[in-house]
Chain A
Amino acid sequence: MIEVSQLVKKYGDFTALHGISFSAKKGEIIGLLGPNGAGKTTTMKILSAFMPSTSGTTKVAGFDVFDDPMEVKKRVGYLPETPPLYTDFRVKEYLEFVAGIKHLAGSRLKERYEFVIEHCGLRDRQQSVINNLSKGFKQRVGIAQAIIHDPEVVILDEPTVGLDPVQIVEIRNLIKNLGSNHTVILSTHILPEVTMTCNHVVMINRGKVLADGSVESLTQGKGESLEEAYLRIITQDAHVVETANKGDS
């Protein structure tokens, strides 16, 4: 469903991604982990065909994001870190507009609209102006727009930020449900969440993949929690860089 190979992204002199490779099958929920500035958002922007990579290939649902961006865009739902909301609009108007630009119409639109309203818990907020919604509800509207067209791949950049514990559980269940017939990529800093939802973890730091596998394979089956594994892997990486720098000077 997703194949990323040797992805490099340079912003001027700064290299954000140094050849990232990973892949995901249909029905997998991938947790993209890493410290701030590791390249998670950059990877997601490339996967959603928002921006091109400097080199390397990315295939989503069998289409290359560079050669066939339109086909990729039809099959991807993307929630960026800041939900892309028209704050003057009412929830219903906004979601219907998004459905329109995703080419939904008629009974299909109604059906999908009902689905996201139900599953994102927006039933009572359909007529609210988005600007007046709380952060958590804005986030739900953001998730709703990412899944309204029933995309094969759902990309969520920190989907549970700003939600209260009850909402987090709801959204987590929603993501789990999505995972049954979609491929979901999500990034988060809340590691227990990854243990609970994701069946595949890709850990990146400074634009490199440090670990790629199931949660069990990363925790080495030693009863280590994901948090401990994360700290171990990130510290190891920092140590490697330190010694490499010493070697240079």
Chain B
Amino acid sequence: MKKMWKGNHAIAEAAMRAGCEFYAGYPITPQTEVGEYLSSRMPELGRRFLQAENEMSAIYMIFGAYACGMRSMTSSSGPGFSLKQEGIAYLCANNFPSVLVNVQRWGPGLGTLDSSQTDYLRDTRGGGNGDYRVIVYAPNSIQETVDLMYNAFDVAEKYRNPVEILSEAALGQMMEPVEFPPFKERKEDLGWTFDGTDRPHGRIDNPGKPGALRAKVEAIMANEQRWENYMVEDADYVFVAFGLPSRTSRNAVDLLREQGIKAGLIRPITVWPFPFDAFKEIPGTVKGIISVESTDAGQLVEDVALATKRMCRGNVPVYGLFSGQKIPKTKEIVTYVNGILSGENKEVF
């Protein structure tokens, strides 16, 4: 039987089910309930919870714990996540896994507490110094948040790379019916962790790093793209949207189809690796691709344009509906498409 759960509580409980043994974090709206929930839940399960003195110490505590093989995670929102970037770069430099949660709020700077997707480019491009990528999942429901979190540690350990759950303020604060998977635990040794012996820790020397990173990135791009397509195969206009805007976009597809306009939706579930393969289904007759996102000036639209260039023949126009610090409403999306048809809305790329 499904029960109503708040997004932030559900992601925390899912981490417990996935075998998370250690959490360190620092409060920030709209994700504070993640830590709040874990502060009582983790001791109850005999696991370690720590409210760090700031975001940077939290990420380095995760670094230390994962160096010893403990399933560890941290969470924050936009501004706090910025402070963690140095630590994330070090996690990647050492090929350490970890699970990171970013419940986005509108930025830059302190910004506001409104729901948005303005951290997209930072989080899909690594975010810190150096060349690396973090595997980023962008769920669009609380159930999907739970399901992705449940596998996040496995994926992070498989590639020895951080995995991020990119949530949104509204997705963290809202409630939906949820069913949880059973508790699991990783019993086997990861093979490379610091265990008190002098076994090799799998460190890669600097000259070997470029090749190793390239091989890892290629493997992740080949194996880990996730997406959901809706009515794309005969669409004249294809929306690309992740997270909550993907839900209003899907409703817009239904409304437009009722009006005789053939719309479709590509919903990236991984935003890195970006699901280029999802674009294979777009028909050659497509008239436009539309990025629908809660950003101010367009971020996702850049990946949409790259994917369109690579996967579609001809010069298909790429449009962008940027709703700023709110979720685009179904009607706004429909109106935007009508604006394309009337020539009022121009392509971005």
Q: Do A and B come from one complex?
A: no
List residues of B whose CB falls within 8 A of some A CB. Answer: none
List residues of A whose CB falls within 8 A of some B CB. Answer: none
